[in-house]
Chains A and B, each alone.
Chain A
C-alpha cells in the first residue's frame, strides 16, 4: 500500500463516518482527532473495527493507546506496522 493513498482512504472514512455531523469537511494527516473531539471513545472502537476488516489486521490490547489514534499519521503508522509484520 502507498502511504498517501492509504492516508487519503483513512481521512475519507473519518470525515464521512466518524466525524459526520461535526462540521468537518476535510482533514490533514496531522490534525488532532481526539483532542479536537472529532473522534470519541465509540468512534475509536469503530475505527478499530474498520481497520481490522478493511486491512485484515488484528489490533491488540497493546496497540490501544490514544497516541496510536491521535491523528491520521499515527493511525497509518500503526496500520503499516501491522501489515508489514
Chain B
C-alpha cells in the first residue's frame, strides 16, 4: 500500500493550483451575483487541458486514470474559488466518460475532440420531476427502433443545460422488455435538433455561475447512430456514470475544504481578541481540528474510490460513502468557517458565505445524502 502521490501527480497539482489562482479567481463575486457563466475562464480551463483529463490521447486528451483526474479536479477546486465553474468542468468530464466508455467509433471521433478542447459543451440529462436517483421512474420516452427514435418528455435542473451543444439523454424505451415499464436507453441530442428546447437558466441559492435549466423534448427525432451504448443499457450506464461522477464531485469538495481550512487557520492565527489569537480558544481550535480530520479521512476515501475504478471494479458502496461523508463534511466546514470568521465571514467580500451556499448543493446533487444512506444500507443487506 502506497499513500503517496507520484511526482507527475504532484507536479500536476502544483501547476493546476497555480493556474487556477492566476486565471480563474478574478470577478468571481460579480459572476456569482450576476449568475453569469464565465466563458473566458471556461476556455482557459480547456487550454489548460482540464476538459480532456479523461479523454484518450487519440482524441486530443491526456488520458489520465481516475485517480490522477481526481487529483487534478481537487487541485482545481482548491485553487479556483468559483465552484460553479468547477461543477461545469466535472459535468463535461462525466459526459466524456460516458462517450468514451459506451460511444461508437464514429461518436467518439465526432464529439470527443470538440468536448476536450472546449469547442463543445455537454450536459447529461437524467433528473425529472418524478425521477432522480430513482432513475427507472423516468417518463421521458423513446419510441422507435434501431433505424431511429422519437424522444418525448422533459428534464429538470440539468447542469450546463442551457449552454450545452450536446446532451446525453436517458429515456425509457417503451418498446423494450416490459421490466420497469420499459428499459432505459441513452441517446445523444445536439443543440438545435428540431423539437429540442431549453428553459431559462434557473435562479439558485448557490453554484450560481453554473447554468441549470429544464430541457424539453417534443418529438425529437434521433437516428440510430445517435444511440449511446446498447439499447436497454441505460440503467447500467447510469449506475457506472454515477460512480465516476461521485468520485469527481468528492475530489472537488475536498479541494474546497482544503482551501476553507487554510483560510480558517490563517484567520485564527492573526485575529486577536482579549490579547490572544482566537485560535487559542478551544471552541475555535476544535472546529478547525474537525475540519482537518474530515479532510484527511475524505482523501483516503476518495483515493480508494478512484483506485477501485482504475482497477475496473465496481465502487457503488464506496462512492456513496465518500460522497456522503465528504459533502456533509464540506457543508459543516463552510458553516464553521463562517462562524470562525465572525462578522467578516458573513460578508460577501470574504467569500465564505458563497462557499457555504455552494456547499448546500453538494449534499443534494448526484444523489442526496439521504439517498446515499439508503444505498449504503441496501448494500449492507438492510
Residues of A that sit less than 8 Å from B by CB: 17, 20, 32, 34-35, 40-46, 48-49, 52, 58, 61, 64-67, 70
The interface stretch among B105-113, B172-180, B195-203, B295-303 is: B172-180
Chain B, interface residues (CB within 8 Å), range: 20 to 34
In the assembled complex, B375 has its CB within 8 A of some CB on chain A = yes
> Is the CB–CB distance between B177 and A67 below 8 Å?
yes
Is B314 touching A66 in the complex (CB atoms < 8 A)? Answer: no
- Whether B314 pairs with A49 at a CB distance below 8 angstroms is yes
Residues of chain B contacted by A42 (CB below 8 angstroms): 316, 375, 378-379
Whether A46 contacts B378 in the complex (CB less than 8 A), given A35-B178, A70-B179, comes out as yes
- Assess whether B230 is interfacial by the CB under 8 Å rule: yes
Chain B 113-150 per-residue mask, 1 if CB under 8 angstroms from chain A, else 0 = 00000000000000000000001100000000000000
Cα–Cα distance between A20 and B233 once the two chains are bound (Å): 26
Besides A45-B239, A64-B233, 18 new A-B residue pairs in contact (Cβ under 8 A), listed by A number: A20-B381, A20-B382, A35-B178, A35-B179, A41-B136, A41-B238, A42-B316, A45-B314, A45-B316, A49-B314, A49-B316, A49-B379, A52-B314, A61-B240, A65-B230, A65-B233, A66-B177, A70-B177
Query: B268-288 CB contact bits vs A (8 Å, 1 = yes)?
Result: 000000000000000000000
**Are B136 and A40 neighbours in the complex by a CB distance under 8 Å?**
yes
Question: Once the chains are docked, how many angstroms separate the CA of A45 from the CA of B315?
Answer: 10
Expressed in whole angstroms, the Cα–Cα distance for A46 and B382 within the complex equals 12
Q: Are A46 and B379 CB-contacts (below 8 A) given A61-B101, A70-B179?
A: yes
- Does B46 interact with chain A (Cβ within 8 Å)? no
Q: Which residues does chain A contribute within 8 Å of B235, judged by CB atoms?
A: 41, 44, 66
Bound form: Cα–Cα A45–B381 in Å: 12
Min C-beta distance of B353 to chain A, whole Å: 37
Q: Which residues of B have CB within 8 Å of A45?
A: 239, 314, 316
Complex interface: chain A residues within 8 A of B381 (CB): 17, 20
- CB-CB under 8 A from B382, the residues of chain A are 20
Bound CA span A46–B377, Å: 12
Question: What are 22 sample pairs from A and B whose C-beta atoms fall under 8 A apart?
Answer: A17-B381, A20-B381, A34-B179, A35-B177, A35-B179, A41-B235, A42-B316, A42-B375, A44-B236, A45-B239, A45-B314, A46-B379, A52-B314, A58-B312, A61-B102, A61-B236, A61-B240, A65-B230, A66-B179, A66-B232, A66-B235, A70-B179
Nearest B-chain residue to A67, judged by Cβ:
B177
**Which 7 pairs of residues, A with B, have the shortest CB-CB distance?**
A64-B236, A34-B179, A35-B179, A17-B381, A45-B316, A41-B235, A66-B179
Q: Which B residues lie within 8 Å of A67 (CB)?
A: 177
* B245 contacts chain A at the CB level, 8 A cutoff: no
Interface string of B164-205 (1 = CB under 8 A from A): 000000000000011110010000000000000000000000
Chain B residue nearest to A46 in the complex (CB): B379
Residue of A20, A40, A45, A49 with most chain B CB atoms under a 10 A cut-off: A45
Q: From residue 209 to 256 of chain B, which have CB atoms closer than 8 A to chain A?
A: 230, 232-233, 235-236, 238-240
Chain B min CB distance to A82 (Å): 15
Question: In the docked arrangement, what's the CA distance between A41 and B177, Å?
Answer: 15
CB distance from B132 to the nearest CB of A (A): 13
Distance between Cα atoms of A7 and B134 in the complex (Å): 29
Query: B180: nearest residue on chain A (CB-CB)?
Result: A34
List of A residues within 8 angstroms of B183 by Cβ: 66
Of all chain B residues, the one with the shortest Cβ separation from A64 is B236
Please give me the residue from chain A that is nearest to B229 by CB atom.
A61
- Residues on A with C-beta less than 8 A from B230 are 65
A41 to B102 Cα, complex, angstroms = 19
Closest-CB distance, B311 to chain A (whole angstroms)? 11
